[in-house]
């Protein structure tokens, strides 16, 4: 696990669902590094090809703070 994930989760006293979301974000940023210009289709293909997530669908941006990806099922466990 990334030491930053542990530090953030500890500092913010995240509940388990929030910590899982942070861990998912960490895994995705390892696969698709954050950049200004990213091709969404290629990023989705990279995430899905790893087989980590069952369904990943693009989500329209309704406001600047909204996320690019919406996860219906988070992890294949």
Q: What is residue 2's three-state secondary structure? A: coil
Per-residue pLDDT at 68: 43
More confident of the two residues 42 and 54: 42
Give me the mean pLDDT over the 46-75 stretch. Answer: 57
Kindly tell me if the per-residue pLDDT of 77 is higher than 70: no
pLDDT, average across residues 17-24: 88
Per-residue pLDDT tens digits for 5-18: 889 899 999 899 89
Q: Specify burial of residue 28 (Cβ count, 10 A radius: 0-12, 13-18, 19+).
A: buried
* pTM given for the model: 0.60
Q: For residue 53, count other CB atoms closer than 10 A to its CB.
A: 19
What is the domain partition of the chain in residue ranges?
A: 3-71
Band the pLDDT of 47: cuts 50, 70, 90: confident
């Amino acid at each position: 696990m990334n030491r930053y994930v542990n530090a953030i989760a500890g500092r913010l006293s995240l509940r388990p669902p929030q910590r899982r979301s942070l861990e998912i974000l960490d895994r995705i940023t390892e696969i698709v590094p954050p950049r200004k210009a990213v091709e969404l289709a290629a990023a989705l293909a990279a995430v899905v090809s790893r087989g980590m997530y069952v369904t990943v669908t693009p989500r329209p941006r309704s406001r600047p703070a909204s996320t690019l990806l919406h996860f219906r099922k988070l992890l294949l466990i």
